[in-house]
Amino acid sequence: MKPAQSSFADLSEAAARNNEAIRLAKQEANDYRRQLQSLTCDLEALKGTNESLERQMREMEDNFSMEASGYQDTIAHLEDDTRNMKDEMARHLREYQDLLNVKMALDIEIATYRKLLEGEESRITTPFPNLLSLTLRESMKETRPAMDSLSKKVMIKTIETRDGHIINESTQHDDLE
Note whether 80 and 1 are same-domain residues.
yes
Which of 73, 98, 123 is where one domain is finished? 98
pTM equals: 0.42
Note whether 38 and 77 are same-domain residues.
yes
Note whether 116 and 92 are same-domain residues.
no
Domain count for the chain, please give it: 2
Note whether 17 and 80 are same-domain residues.
yes
pLDDT in tens, 38-83: 999 999 999 999 999 999 999 999 999 999 999 999 999 999 999 9
Which of 56, 81, 98 is where one domain is finished? 98
* Residue ranges making up the domain that contains 146: 99-176
- Dist CA 18 CA 22 (whole Å): 6
Which of 98, 126, 147 is where one domain is finished? 98
